[in-house]
Chains A and B, each alone.
Chain A
Amino acid sequence: MDSAIIIPLLAAAVQSGTPILYATLGEIFTEKSGVLNLGVEGCMIIGALTGFIVALATGSPVLAFVIAGFAGMTASAVHGVVCLWFKGNQVVSGLALTILGAGLANYLGTSYVGQIAPGFKPVPVPLLSQIPALGPIFFNHDPLVYLTYCIPPLMWLYLTRTRHGLSLRAAGEYPAAATAAGLNVAAYRWCGILVGGFFMGLGGAYLSLAYTHLWTNNLTGGRGWIAVALVIFAFWRPGRAVFGAYLFGGIMALQLRLQASGTQLPSSLLLMLPYALTVIVLVMSSWRQGANEAPAALGVNVEPID
């Protein structure tokens, strides 16, 4: 493979990694506050449909993208109500949210199948896109990809350098101590769920507004689950999530490109790659003790402060 193949491959890796990246960042944020939200897929697909409908109705992709975030937030609020108000099981609630989201989106979206919504188009960044290799790989995409370049550093700053972010992590690490220190743990967990859901909604909308401009049943195609696995791979660090998302995007793009370049490997084996990689990544992460970096109170419900 020469550079004529590798550069488009890497560019495709960035693009197909972007929806996963949004969702992974959202899930990291939620889990940092101590709540496990397995409903990523559900939040994503509701965001995807909402974004599509709003874009179609208003003709404004930017507005559609933002509203899609709020739709993802609303979906994740269902999880919040179950886990924070009623102390429900977080795993069960998350799974239910995935099923609910997919069913609801398929039902409500039926009449939108086959329409084209106005969406985001690639906008090369002046100057930066002229850099050999790096330009076409990173700076020849739609604006939503550039947005993801800014989010991980900001999230890192928030989680490690701000009082609010440290309190949110305290709610996820040791809620009893956080409560003793006078923090309202439930409020921080609500913050984690809602902001996380917002990012998941954006990830879904990326699929219906930029990656394609179409709506279809199951548009997210399991990307939400890859995001859940990537959080573990990333050791709950936003920076590593970028690497992980592009790695997965790259594998997805690679298997199609291997086929296009005329490999004799059976396509079934190639299609297995992303999923095989998920399993390998999870095994490797636990070997490297990375799993110990999970927020200590992840998935543990807290009692409200009276």
Chain B
Amino acid sequence: MRLLKALIVVMMSLSLSTAIAAEKELNVGFIYVSPIGDAGWSYAHDQGRKALAEMPGVKTSYVEAVAEGPDSERVMLNMARKGYDVIFATSFGYMDPMLKVAKQFPKTKFMHCSGFKMADNMGNYFGRMYQARYLSGMVAGGMTKSKTIGYVAAFPIPEVIRGINAFTLGVQAVNPDAVVRVVWTKTWYDPATEKEAAKSLLDVGADVIAQHQDSPGPQEAAQEKGVYSIGYNSDMTAFAPKAHLTAPIWNWAPFYKSVIEQVQKGTWKAESVWPGMDTGIVDLAPFSAMVPKELQDKVMAAKADIIAGKNKVFVGPIKDQKGAVKIAEGVMAPDQDLLGMTWFVQGIVGTTE
């Protein structure tokens, strides 16, 4: 009898302890480089965070507008000290600070967006945005009348150059003679400069403005001039309803959910992942009514091909600006080359310096 009692107590305490373990909430922290209201990069990440907050047993919090560098290290250190289980840092410049903090807190799991450095407890992730850019390029190519498309771009780094190249390939898929003119602003978020850059492109005859910037400044410029625009990050229709055609957009929710599920199951390990459109991480915003049905169908067909893996975007022959073949006929550029891309494809007016 006593033995039975003891057994029951042991069983109960065991089940109690497992119940406690199951109820232990997963604390997930996010660090954003800009305010979440920017309708751009950080906004898209925060939509993903909100999806996590609805998962059972997950608690999320975020710090917005954290400057890259020492400031971000302090924020991450704080989160790690407070016992956060998973920390997502969503800007390239957070890479080195995160690596430092990751080494001090081996039990915390760190995820860095858009970088390349890793540790045992630090993985990195990004999405194949160039696939969506290719599709948005098709839309721009189908809508331009002057055969000149303006592209306001932030910094000449591989991520942006790859996006411009994919966009241009998309343009050429429907409009082989069209050119894409590029202006660098050297800022991710400065509406005044971005708008001025867009205007300078409009002055040289561009009638569709695309952007790799986080503010809707270029959209405004296009609408004021009465031409079309392609957004970025999230659906920017609200900023320029008469100009905005579509936008390559981020959809982080499914990805963030899968990471957290892995952590909950204990199967998470530090990896470098680069999922594509088939997982839904990147997508094309709904078309504006200004895009003719015929063009919409064409783009949707290309989208289906990309999702099915039939269209890999960077498949040769692809020439650079000088006409030299960079990707040979029938060859698909390996990821390594895409990640380190520093040259423009033929049909782009501008320099990568």
Contacts and interface: CB of A to CB of B under 8 A. Distances in A.
A252 interface: yes
Contacts of A5: 203-204
Nearest to B39: A114
Contacts of A217: 34-35, 65, 189
Interface stretch (A72-80, A254-262, A279-287): A254-262
Interface string A201-222: 0000001000111101111010
A185 B197 CA distance: 46
Interface string B203-240: 11010000000011100100000000000000000110
B201 A115 contact: no
A116 interface: yes
Interface stretch (A25-33, A57-65, A104-112, A125-133): A104-112
Contact of A114 (B37, B182, B206): B37
Contacts of A106: 65
A234 interface: no
B294 interface: no
Given A114-B43, A116-B239, A260-B203, A268 B186 contact: yes
B335 interface: no
Nearest to A106: B65
A145 to B, nearest CB: 15
Contacts, number: 108
A259 B216 contact: no
B192 interface: yes
Contact of A212 (B65, B156, B220, B350): B220
A12 interface: yes
Interface in A1-18: 5, 8-9, 12, 16
Interface string B155-193: 010000000000000000000000001111110011111
B338 interface: no
A222 to B, nearest CB: 10
A39 to B, nearest CB: 20
A169 to B, nearest CB: 34
A260 B182 CA distance: 6
Given A115-B37, A211-B195, A212-B192, A257 B186 contact: no
A110 B37 contact: yes
A211 B35 contact: no
Contact of A213 (B181, B184, B220): B220
B183 A260 contact: yes
B64 interface: yes
B186 A16 contact: no
Contacts of B38: 113-114, 216
Contact of A261 (B65, B192, B204, B220): B204
Nearest to A207: B192
B349 to A, nearest CB: 4
A259 B352 CA distance: 11
B200 interface: yes
Nearest to B348: A262
Nearest to A267: B184
B351 A16 contact: no
Contacts of B196: 12, 16, 252-253, 256
Q: Considering residues A106, A112, A253, which has the most beta carbons from chain B within 10 angstroms of its beta carbon? A: A253
B297 interface: no
B350 A262 contact: yes
Q: What's the dominant secondary structure at chain B's contact region? A: mixed
A81 interface: no
A262 B215 contact: no
Q: Considering residues A112, A214, A221, which has the most beta carbons from chain B within 10 angstroms of its beta carbon? A: A214
Interface in B285-302: none
A93 B2 CA distance: 80
A264 interface: yes
B204 A266 contact: no
Contacts of B195: 211-212
B260 to A, nearest CB: 27
Interface string B19-56: 00000000000000011011100010000000000000
B217 A214 contact: yes
Contacts of A219: 190-192
Given A212-B217, A256-B196, A113 B37 contact: yes
B306 to A, nearest CB: 30
Contacts of B242: none
Contacts of A265: 351
Nearest to A115: B37
A187 interface: no
A177 interface: no
A221 B216 contact: no
A199 to B, nearest CB: 19
A147 interface: no
B329 interface: no
A189 to B, nearest CB: 33
A9 B238 CA distance: 29
Nearest to A4: B203
Interface in A253-306: 253, 256-257, 259-268, 271
B199 interface: yes
B192 A256 contact: no
Contacts of B35: 110, 113-114, 216-217
Contact of A268 (B193, B215, B353): B353
Contacts of B34: 113, 217
A252 B207 CA distance: 22
A261 B150 CA distance: 11
Q: Give the 10 A-B residue pairs with the shortest CB-CB distance, closest first.
A: A114-B37, A266-B353, A113-B37, A256-B200, A113-B35, A267-B184, A262-B349, A212-B191, A260-B200, A8-B203
6 contacts: A8-B199, A16-B192, A114-B39, A256-B183, A259-B197, A267-B183
Given A113-B38, A115-B37, 12 more contacts: A12-B203, A110-B65, A114-B37, A114-B39, A212-B192, A212-B220, A214-B217, A216-B189, A216-B191, A217-B35, A219-B192, A253-B200
